[in-house]
Structure 1
Amino acid sequence: MARQSTPDHGPEAGPEPEGWWVFRGPAPLPAAPPWRYFAAARRRAEAPAPYLMDRNEVSVVNAALHLHRPLLVTGRPGTGKSSLARAVAAELGLGDVLRWSVNSRSTLADALYRYDAVGRLREASLRREREAARTAPRRLKDHRGSFTTDIGHYLRLGPLGTALAATDRPRVLLVDELDKSDIDLPNDLLVVLEEGEFEIPELARLSEQHQDVHVLTDGSRERVRVHRGVVSCAHFPVVVMTSNGEREFPPAFLRRCVRLDLPDPTPERLRQIVAHNLGPQALTEAEDLIDGFLQRSKTETLATDQLLAAVHLRITGADLTKDELLAAVMHRLDEPMSP
């Protein structure tokens, strides 16, 4: 079958690599890089290789588990901070990771629960309209006090609320990029984690006959029972909080955390990361990219996953020169992009 025409890279362009031209190729979509598989795909895949850590780093994680304290993981972007939470969950058999991605507008309430008051009122209005249609032209009774819509249908626990409500086993909670939060959020978060519970006011105000309400959990259709409006911790969650070091945290916050600093990878560690994610054979194609990454990292902020992306593109036949490859995926992270 004749190959479709592809964009022209000039007279010096070499042979077109098979399977590279997907957009305007045409060709089937390629498989994702190993680190870009999402939850459903990871569950279908074979067991992943162990997360790369040295003995000291493993010891710090174990200290947090024994103390039932949050683990604060700091380091440059791309050093594997977020992946650590998935590695702990997979190795301990604790299910999918609950994730709370923090930004400057995040509040503690966002992570605890959400209440759809508008949806509940709309449902109440529709019920009254249907009742009015069934009883017309008789005079309608006063429906105040006869509102029976289950409030649990309009409440959903957030990632932190779900972690605290877990009943059969602990859950792993990833609080990602906490250093981007409002200045008060870290201490507010620790208050809830220290107490191991929080109150949902909308449920606490219900009458005595509605003491138990079943509410939805984050990211699923499962429900948990909430008694008298209080979500109380049966198992302390495994909490992994990440920070890129954009600001300092209060001493009271740091005192209650176990801290793990992930250093910038050494040349040997970079080779291990490449072989771990892309296979030992990838190293034969990666040496110049690794050397370039190390040289630029001395003066620029780069992320390890940028190196992985460059190596992956090369070994899958990217029709790009080295300079084009680096410009596409290994741009520096400490300066704004040109307009």
Structure 2
Amino acid sequence: MSTWPVYTGTDEPHDRVSRLPDPPPWRSFDGGPALPSPSPEDDSVSCDRKHRAGTYQATRESVELVNAALVLRRPLLITGPPGSGKSSLPYAVARELKLGPVLRWNITSRSTLQEGLYQYDPMARLYAASKGAGRKRSGEADDGDPAGDAIEDHLRLGPLGTALLPYERPRVLLIDEIDKSDLDLPNDLLNVLEEGQYEITELVRAAEHAPTARLMAAGGEARVTVDRGLVRCRAFPFIVFTSNGEREFPPAFLRRCVPLHLRRPEPDHLEAIVRAHLGELDGETTQMIVTFLERSRTGELATDQLLNAIYLSRVPGLAAESREALAASLMTHLGPVAEFHDF
């Protein structure tokens, strides 16, 4: 039975992820006990994300490199101009392979590895403990507050920490705009990405008295069991880093990723994107695509600018001159305009 490709780039969900070949010996993980994968049908997924997943138009190169990342159990590092579909791709992969809701970690200059793995609120725990002690001293009855002073009541796994739980199938994790991070974050991620595991220090310290803990995972209210503070994956997650190219990354980080650069769509691909989002093309829509491509030669434009302009052009009652003016305003260059000189 063929094992390639697992991800096909179509919009039809299937179970080919079960055909993934065994991981390379150096990327095999044995975390457990195995957790069932979340249902692919989840009402908490926003309409926007469902739409992006169902309309994403994959290129041949993106399909090949997604499969390479899945087979090698390595993160995918996607670069490319704004609006090229970098953050939509993981939603398309999760939908097609039925891998459940996408976990998302939006990176800022203040993001830390700790934030991605788990959050612990010691002040809330101290308050809960003092509140309980005060009731006992005064002989007050329990007021029914479910919050306790156990460590597990004040810990919650982050998106990266949740993705590394021992799920039967890989979870999909989008780490968006990694180039906006502090300089140390890519290096801080290296050990976790290499080992597929991490420790929750607070639980390791308490393991002698409380060997297991039930923690809330990211993306819902469900609790998962963590044994002696160690979380180790079973199926390495499909991790997607996106970058707008605002900085360079250290070689040690780059060699652990499968690189994918998304280029500006070619005319045929751009037409397919418009059809997927807005239906069949008419004469006016075709002309707007031509205008967009011409303007793209002299400056940076994003595909969603074109989609916005086409959508507005189809609003009933909008006069032709207004449509043209709005389209010109919406398709404003995002960066410096290229200058051309005659010699």
Task: Calculate the TM-score normalised by the size of structure 2.
Answer: 0.77
Counterpart-to-counterpart distance in 2, 1:313 and 1:325: 8
Amino acid at match of 2:331: M
Q: Could you tell me how far 1:224 is from its partner in structure 2?
A: 1.4
1:93 aligned onto 2:98: yes
Amino acid at match of 1:289: M
Counterpart-to-counterpart distance in 2, 1:263 and 1:105: 29
Other-structure match for 1:334: 335
Q: Deviations over 1:210-265 (max 9, x none)?
A: 01111110121111111111111122000111111112211121111111111111
Alignment of 1:1-339 (within 5 A): 39-41=45-47, 49=54, 51-134=56-139, 149-280=149-280, 282-317=281-316, 319=318, 321-326=322-327, 328-334=329-335
Q: Deviations over 1:315-336 (max 9, x none)?
A: 233736135423553333226x
Is the contact between residue 152 and residue 213 of structure 1 (CA under 8 Å) also seen in structure 2? yes
SS of residue in 2 equivalent to 1:208: coil
SS of residue in 2 equivalent to 1:209: coil
Is the contact between residue 196 and residue 233 of structure 1 (CA under 8 Å) also seen in structure 2? yes
Q: For this pair of structures, how many residues does the alignment match?
A: 286
Against the structure 1 CA distance between its residues 172 and 207, is the aligned structure 2 distance closer, same or farther, given a 3 Å change threshold? closer
Counterpart-to-counterpart distance in 2, 1:214 and 1:165: 13
Q: Could you tell me how far 1:51 is from its partner in structure 2?
A: 3.1
Q: Could you tell me how far 1:54 is from its partner in structure 2?
A: 2.8
Other-structure match for 1:10: none
Identical counterparts, % of pairs? 51
SS of residue in 2 equivalent to 1:225: strand
Is the contact between residue 87 and residue 242 of structure 2 (CA under 8 Å) also seen in structure 1? yes
Against the structure 1 CA distance between its residues 128 and 318, is the aligned structure 2 distance closer, same or farther, given a 3 Å change threshold? farther
Is the contact between residue 271 and residue 283 of structure 1 (CA under 8 Å) also seen in structure 2? no
Larger Rg: 1
Q: Could you tell me how far 1:159 is from its partner in structure 2?
A: 0.4
Q: Deviations over 1:193-216 (max 9, x none)?
A: 111111111111115130111111
More off after superposition, 119-128 vs 79-88 = 119-128
SS of residue in 1 equivalent to 2:100: coil
Other-structure match for 2:22: none
Counterpart-to-counterpart distance in 2, 1:39 and 1:173: 14
Give 5+ residue unaligned stretches, structure 1: 1-36, 136-147
Amino acid at match of 2:273: I
Is the contact between residue 116 and residue 161 of structure 2 (CA under 8 Å) also seen in structure 1? yes
Amino acid at match of 1:39: V
SS of residue in 1 equivalent to 2:87: helix
Is the contact between residue 115 and residue 156 of structure 1 (CA under 8 Å) also seen in structure 2? yes
Q: Deviations over 1:13-49 (max 9, x none)?
A: xxxxxxxxxxxxxxxxxxxxxxxx9824379x79964
SS of residue in 1 equivalent to 2:206: coil
Against the structure 1 CA distance between its residues 199 and 38, is the aligned structure 2 distance closer, same or farther, given a 3 Å change threshold? closer
Amino acid at match of 1:307: L
**Moved runs in structure 1, 4+ residues, more than 6 A?**
45-48
Amino acid at match of 1:325: L
**Aligned-pair Cα RMSD in Å:** 2.5
SS of residue in 1 equivalent to 2:291: helix
Is the contact between residue 312 and residue 323 of structure 2 (CA under 8 Å) also seen in structure 1? no
Is the contact between residue 69 and residue 258 of structure 1 (CA under 8 Å) also seen in structure 2? yes
Counterpart-to-counterpart distance in 1, 2:69 and 2:204: 33
Against the structure 1 CA distance between its residues 207 and 63, is the aligned structure 2 distance closer, same or farther, given a 3 Å change threshold? closer
More off after superposition, 75-84 vs 324-333 = 324-333
Give 5+ residue unaligned stretches, structure 2: 1-42, 141-147, 337-343
Amino acid at match of 2:95: A
Amino acid at match of 2:305: Q
Counterpart-to-counterpart distance in 2, 1:248 and 1:318: 48
Against the structure 1 CA distance between its residues 157 and 75, is the aligned structure 2 distance closer, same or farther, given a 3 Å change threshold? same
